[in-house]
């Protein structure tokens, strides 16, 4: 694998970051995960814009690059993003190397890393049968302490919740916020259907403004599905007719079990299936554009 590190591509065994890098020492950095369909990078500009917003929020200057050309070169060098295999792309930008201490001025130059590999989508059986969630004991970070719109490399909150899911044999954990309202899962946004309405926690609940989430809301409105972004407790989800998750790599993933109890009829529901078809149609239009 070829890794882009700071200013050039190097083999992965030479892609070494200093132990004095503040991304390693303090989790001081931002990142984005992007995917391709074939050679086309999906919603590239939206991801790059969010990367810049995250960096701006922590006072981190992103080095100037021809990002579209760089990402395509990364795919080409690693023989992904072609007619045979879609690409998984991760951009990581840390504060950089500096003396130990919290002052960002200790780091004169950010560290830039771009990694690409084959995208490994979830097992198709998961889409057919749905996945199992648990409600985590871990709560989502308080927004006043750490803004959820910063897609930061400090992921310990999510990792603690993921450990709960792994211990329970579940696909993932659902985190509640400081007010016991539904928030999000460890790497995905949450949707559920109640009385024909598509519901999702609002941004004020302390969630990341997911790019796939925004697309799904647009597709639902185009389809005439009523949408509600609000504050919901876990009982609303337990009474829901359907539930699904969304993120860049898995698109729309049905949820059929919550805390060992079926959601709705225990199968992917009609609204979930409709939106999955709409997403696929949008993807086709993107590839044909």
Q: Which residues are catalytic?
A: 151
Which structure tokens are listed for 89? 């792309």
Q: Distance (Å, rounded) from C-alpha 130 to C-alpha 127?
A: 5
């Amino acid at each position: 694998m070829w890794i882009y590190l700071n200013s050039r591509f190097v083999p992965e065994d030479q892609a070494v970051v200093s132990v004095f890098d503040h991304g390693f020492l303090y989790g001081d950095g931002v990142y984005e995960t992007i995917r391709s369909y074939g050679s086309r990078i999906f919603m590239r500009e939206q991801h790059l814009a969010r990367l810049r917003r995250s960096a701006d929020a922590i006072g981190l200057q992103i080095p100037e690059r021809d990002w579209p050309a760089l990402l395509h070169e990364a795919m080409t060098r690693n023989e992904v993003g072609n007619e045979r295999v879609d690409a998984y792309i991760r951009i990581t930008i840390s504060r950089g190397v500096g003396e130990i201490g919290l002052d960002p001025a200790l780091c004169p130059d950010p560290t830039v890393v771009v990694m690409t590999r084959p995208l490994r989508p979830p097992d198709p059986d998961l889409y057919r049968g749905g996945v199992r969630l648990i409600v985590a004991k871990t709560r989502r970070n308080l927004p006043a302490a750490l803004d959820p719109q910063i897609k930061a490399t400090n992921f310990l909150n999510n990792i603690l919740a993921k450990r709960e899911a792994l211990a329970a044999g579940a696909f993932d954990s659902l985190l509640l916020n400081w007010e016991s309202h539904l928030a999000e899962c460890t790497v995905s946004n949450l949707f559920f259907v109640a009385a024909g309405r598509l519901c999702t926690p609002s941004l004020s609940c302390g969630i990341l403004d997911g790019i796939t989430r925004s697309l799904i809301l647009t597709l639902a409105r185009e389809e005439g599905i009523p949408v509600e972004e609000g504050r919901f407790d876990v009982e609303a989800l337990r009474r829901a007719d359907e539930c699904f998750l969304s993120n860049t790599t898995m698109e729309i993933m049905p949820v059929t079990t919550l805390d060992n109890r079926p959601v709705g009829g225990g199968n992917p529901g009609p609204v979930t299936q409709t939106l999955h078809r709409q997403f696929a149609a949008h993807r086709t239009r993107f590839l044909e554009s």
